[in-house]
Amino acid sequence: MESLSRFGEKISGIPVPRNKPLVGEYAFADQSDAHVAAQLREPFAFQGIRPEVVGNRRRFVIGKHSGPNILRHKFGSWAWR
């Protein structure tokens, strides 16, 4: 699905919006610490499909709602010594 969106983007010259459902850059992104913790335990907790099915990927973004779970995931255990 993503390759079709990218093809349409290429021939039309109109970029795919970052927040476009399923194929946008932010479609499977999350920064909420509670959401990140739940998704690390159970990937389908907040997203009903696997991002890979539509050619996308899951992203955990550091932002104002981030907490220890995302930091631990992003930086590994070395950050907590």
Which of the residues are catalytic? 35
Question: Rounded to whole angstroms, how far apart are CA atoms 4 and 54?
Answer: 10
75: which residues sit within 8 A by CB, 6+ positions away?
none
Could you identify the residue written with the tokens 């995302």? 70
Enclosing H/E stretch for 30: strand 29-30
Token pair recorded at residue 48: 């009903």
